Structure 1
C-alpha cells in the first residue's frame, strides 16, 4: 500500500484583497495592539496566528468589518466561494457604557488622549474598576465560526482574520471600542456631554458629580505635563537681525566689532564671569 497523499490545496488568488502591512516579525506596532496579541497568546489563540499569516500577507482576506460584538470577514480559500468568518464577543450594554464614559470623563487626560486618536495606557484599569474587561480574558468569551470544512479552531481563515484584526487596531484603536459596542463618534460625543453636563447622545443617563464633591480635586493637575525647553539659538542671532548700520570704526563695521563680545557672552556661565 502506498503512502500517497494528495498535494495540499492552494488558495485561489485574490485581486484587491486586504494585505497585512507587516511582511515579517511581530504583528503589533502599538501597545494596545500588542496587548490584544498578548491576550490571544494567553488564551491559546496567538500561537496559531502563524497558520493564517501567509493568507493575511497574500491578501486572501477579501473584507473585514468590525461592529458591536462581531467581527465578520470573507476569506478566499481553495474553493470558488469565499469562506464566511465571524469572531463574536459580548458588547457592553448602555448602562455599562454610561458608567465607563462617566469614569473616563472625570479625567481630562483620557478625553484629550482619545480626541488625539490614541488609547490611554491605563484605560484597561478604568474598565476593570467597573468589573468590565476591554479585551477578552478567556477563550469562552469569543465565539469563532468559519464556513470552511476544517475542524481545527481557529482554522487558517479565522487566524488570518485575527492577524488583520490586530493590525487594524494599530491603525484605529477605536475599533477595539467599536467591537465592544461604542463607535468613535458616539464615544467622543458622550465624553464631551458628560464633562459639560449635557445628556448623552444615545439617551443613556450620565449623572454628574455635585460640585461640592469635586472641590478638593477641582484645581488638581489631571496629568503630568512636560515643560518645553526654549530653542537653542546662537548668541549672535540678535546682531544678525539688525538692519544695516552705517557706523564704522577704523573702516570696520560696528556689527563686526561687536560680534566677538556677543560670542563671549554665549560661552560659559554669566554668573561665574561676573565675580
Structure 2
C-alpha cells in the first residue's frame, strides 16, 4: 500500500466502531433529551457547567446502543464496564465526596425540621428545596469541583465517550430513584429514612408545648375563608383551598373530590331540595 493510500500515514484515523454488546444497559430514551426529572436534569447541567457539555454528547449514542455492560453505585463512587472497539471492555470510575456521619447528621437535622422533605422523598420525589439545604451547609448535593473521572481507554479527552455514556445512564437511574443521588453522597435510603424518623421525632418532642401555655389562644378562631358566592354549591369550598400538590392517577386531588362535593349539595331525586 502506498503512503498516499494509507490513511494512517497522513495521521488520519478512521472512526472506530464499538463492538456490539448482548444484554447491555441501554438508555430508555431513543432520541432527544435523556433526563426527565428536575434532579437528573440538574445533574447533567452541573456537568455542563464545569466544561463537559460538548464532550458529554459523545456518549449519548453509546448509552443508547447498550455499550455499558455494568454500572454499580456506592458511597462516593460509580464503577462501570463499557464495551468499546477493543476486545476488552474499558473500566470506568467516577468519584464524588461521600459525606461522613457528622456531615450527614447536620443534613438530617435540617431536613427533619420540615416534614415536607420526608414526605416528598417517601413518594419518590426530590423536593427542589433540598438542594438549598445542602448548599446552606456548604455540602453540595450534585457533583462539581469534587468530581473525579477515570477510564482505561486510550482517549485523551475527558470525559471520553465511555465516561459520558455512564453519566447518561446515571441520569436515568436518578430519574427512577432520587435516593441514588443521596446514596452516592454516602447515605442510602434505609439509613436515611431511619435517621430522619428519629430526627423528626426529636424535633416534634422539642416542639411540644404544655396546654396551660396555650389557653389564651386555644379557642381563637383560625383564619376565615372567603365567603362563598350566593347560591354557590359545596364544591366552591374546594376552590378556596390553597394549592394541594397531590395527584390521583394524573388528576389533581381537588378535581377528584369535586364530583363528590357537587353530589352532596344537590337535592335528592324527586325531592324539593328542602
TM over 0.5: yes
Q: Deviations over 1:182-202 (max 9, x none)?
A: 1011111110011123xxxxx
Number of residues paired by the alignment? Answer: 226
Higher Cα Rg: structure 1 or 2? Answer: 1
Post-superposition CA distance 1:199-244 (Å, at most 9, x none):
xxxxxxxx9984489x99xx9xxxx6528364235787842xxxxx
Q: Does 1:179 align with 2:184?
A: yes
Tell me which of 96, 99, 103 is aligned to 2:106: 99
Deviations 1:79-110 (A, max 9, x none): 11111100011111110001101110111111
SS in 1 for 2:149: strand
Encode CA deviations 1:55-86: one digit per residue, 9 max, x unaligned. Answer: 10000001111110001110011111111100
Residue in 2 aligned with 1:246?
Answer: none
Pair 236,129 (structure 1): closer, same or farther in 2 beyond 3 Å: closer
Report the 3-state secondary structure (helix = DSSP H, G, I; strand = E; otherwise coil) of the residue aligned with 2:40: helix
1:36 matched to 2:35? The reply is no
The equivalent residue for 1:2 is 4
Q: Which residue of 2 aligns with 1:167?
A: 172
Match of 1:25 in 2: 32
1:248 paired residue number: none
Which aligned pairs between 1:51-66 and structure 2 lie closer than 5 A? 51-66=58-73
Q: Match for residue 250 of structure 2?
A: none
Aligned mates of 1:209, 1:130 — CA distance in 2: 24
TM-score when scaled to structure 1?
Answer: 0.74
Cross-structure match for 2:163 = 158
TM-score (norm 2): 0.75
Which residue of 226, 236, 258 maps to 1:231? 258
Cα separation, 2, equivalents of 1:178 and 1:236? 52
2:131 to 121, 124, 131: 124
Instruction: Mark the CA change 1:27 to 1:237 in structure 2 (over 3 Å): closer, same or farther.
Output: farther
Q: Mind listing any 5+ residue stretches in structure 2 that lack a counterpart?
A: 219-241, 245-252
Whether the 8 Å contact between 2:74 and 2:183 is mirrored in structure 1 is: yes
Superposed, which structure 2 residues align to 1:196-275 within 5 Å? 196-197=201-202, 210-211=206-207, 226=244, 228=254, 230-232=257-259, 233=262, 238-239=268-269, 255=270
CA RMSD of aligned residues (A): 2.8
Query: Which of the numbers 74, 86, 89 marks the counterpart of 1:79?
Result: 86
Q: CA deviation at 1:148?
A: 0.9
Aligned to 2:235: none
**Preserved contact between residue 55 and residue 158 of structure 2 (Cα < 8 Å):** no
Map of 1:247 onto structure 2: none
